[in-house]
Amino acid sequence: MKTSSPSTIVTANDVTKVYQRGSEPGRLARVLGRSEPPTVSAVDSASLDISNEEIVGLAGPSGSGKSTLLHILAGLERPTEGSVLFQETDLATLSKRNRTRHRLKHIGIIFQQFHLLDSLSARANVALPLVELGIGKQQRRRQATELLERVGLGDRITHRPGELSGGEQQRVAIARALITDPDLVVADEPTGELDTDTGRTILQAFKEVAENRAVVLASHDHETLEICDRLIQLRDGTVTNRLKQESSSDEDS
């Protein structure tokens, strides 16, 4: 088993994630001779290290396991087999409550679905993680305002999600992921809802973010993957290739 070096943020050792597809009604299951529901391996024996100050891209077709692997690295899901070390801490040893606290303090997560609260302003949505950490209102407002300005939404801080375009909601989600100054940022299709110019602005922000933390991006978009220092190609949950940035434009994502 590999062990993390001092510069390594997170290490996945032979992680596998198996899901049950669902069970048939009792009579049908007996007819089919099945005692257990069928399973599918979303990730199969994947190993990788993510180091500080690098951007790693996960590439592959839909259903290749990119999102599941992101969730495992972020501690959102436990692997069925294998282990995940985050700065020498085995995430499997943490209680559910401590895993939640760990994610809050150390991980910034940008989902494909934005998961914004419709009743709150953009600034309040961005500041939510700081509420959980017990940060005072004035500091929360200041930090959230600064991040919204950084992603080009300084004039939309009081708008609610329903008053924002899809691209603007995406930028709110990105700002929220950065609000706790996390050690690791994971993003699932981070430019999927953005126009070309806005997408390039966000990609530049990710480059700046990676100057003092690790970033993992899962994407089909070639321009997004081109900012990565390394590419990890997945197919059917298995790592099939690892490429340096200079070769990324040739990879079929």
Given a cut of 70, the residues of the chain with pLDDT beneath it are: 1-6, 22-37, 193, 245-253
Using DSSP, state whether 244 is helix, strand or coil: strand
Q: What is the pLDDT of residue 25?
A: 55
Q: What is the pLDDT of residue 135?
A: 94
If you classify domain 8-250 with CATH, what class do you get? alpha beta
Q: What is the pLDDT of residue 35?
A: 60
- Name the residue among 37, 80, 88 with its Cα closest to residue 237: 80
The CA R_g of the chain, rounded to the nearest whole Å, is 19
CA 221 from chain centre, in angstroms, equals: 16
Location of structure tokens 């305002």: 145
Using DSSP, state whether 232 is helix, strand or coil: strand
Q: Can you name the residues that pair with 43 across neighbouring β-strands? A: 17
Q: Is the dihedral of CA 241, 242, 243, 245 positive or negative?
A: positive
Q: What is the pLDDT of residue 45?
A: 94
Which DSSP letter does residue 245 get?
A: G
Spatial contact of 49 and 11, defined as CB atoms under 8 Å apart: yes
For residues 160 and 157, what is the distance between their CA atoms, to the nearest angstrom?
8
- Using left for φ > 0, alpha for ψ between -120 and 50, and beta otherwise, residue 125 falls in alpha
Taking the model in full, what pTM does it have?
0.82
Spatial contact of 53 and 34, defined as CB atoms under 8 Å apart: no
Which DSSP letter does residue 239 get?
A: E
Cα separation of the two ends of the chain: 29
Using DSSP, state whether 93 is helix, strand or coil: helix
Q: What is the pLDDT of residue 250?
A: 43
Q: What is the pLDDT of residue 253?
A: 37
Catalogue the E-assigned strands of the chain: 8-20, 39-51, 55-59, 81-86, 89-90, 107-110, 184-188, 214-218, 230-235, 238-244
